[in-house]
Homo-oligomer: A and B are copies of this chain.
């Protein structure tokens, strides 16, 4: 069944531009699950044929929906309805690696990188003595153009030579210095986003989110990482596979 047969033709006489009509039609199709998560849209050239418009017009319509985070483009592959990202909770992978494995492009916007001394909370959770030097990282994490999480990381200066070492991936930087954690304790709980957090993530205050606190350890048992990540509840699923139940 072709999309145009379901959505109906566009109105050439309408004052609303064609690309906006198409955009609205597709947005409706997505919201009513005519196009479900991860479904591929017809190719741009096919859409253009189906709706009897030019490919440029199709692209303008898709541009808008990509901007809204409803669609995802993969060059050479197609355009897809954005689905929830599924994160395997039982696997100790970094956000960057995770997104790449899912075919999405991760990037971060740094809010701050700084150096200082542990505060009492960090000293407690990381098992460090007061006065120990730490690096602190604060950033927004994106998948493609979609903000996914706010992240606060604390790392002892002993395991990293400088803040500049950390570019796109904290774990990569730790790996380079031979200090990638091999074990971690994670704690997860539900939170509501504050106004500040919501604005950074492009959601509404009071929207649901997931706070994951992670302490990472080396084989030796030494703590090398304390990270608090606030994930968007509407964009993230955590999946676990279990083999023993009780």
A residues lining the B interface (CB < 8 Å)? 15-17, 39-40, 67-69, 77-78, 84, 86-94, 97, 101, 171, 180-192, 206-210, 216, 231, 233-234, 236-246
Contacts and interface: CB of A to CB of B under 8 A. Distances in A.
Given A15-B40, A40-B15, A182 B244 contact: yes
Give 4 closest A-B pairs by Cβ, nearest first.
A190-B233, A190-B208, A15-B40, A84-B243
A173 to B, nearest CB: 14
Copies of the chain in the assembly: 2
A245 B184 contact: yes
Among the interface residues A181, A233, A236, A246, which one has the most CB atoms of the partner chain B within 10 A? A246
Contact of A86 (B191, B233, B242): B242
Nearest to A78: B15
B67 A101 contact: yes
A28 to B, nearest CB: 13
A198 to B, nearest CB: 13
A193 to B, nearest CB: 9
Contact of A89 (B16, B87, B181, B188): B188
A189 B233 contact: yes
Contacts of A207: 192
Among the interface residues A94, A236, A237, which one has the most CB atoms of the partner chain B within 10 A? A237
A245 B187 contact: no
A97 B67 CA distance: 11
Nearest to A84: B243
A58 B238 CA distance: 28
Contacts of A16: 40
Nearest to A98: B246
Given A188-B240, A208-B192, A69 B86 contact: no
A183 B209 CA distance: 27
Among the interface residues A94, A190, A191, which one has the most CB atoms of the partner chain B within 10 A? A190
Contact of A93 (B92, B187, B233, B245): B245
Contacts of A233: 189-191, 208
A180 B246 CA distance: 10
Given A84-B243, A92-B240, A242-B91, A188 B188 contact: yes
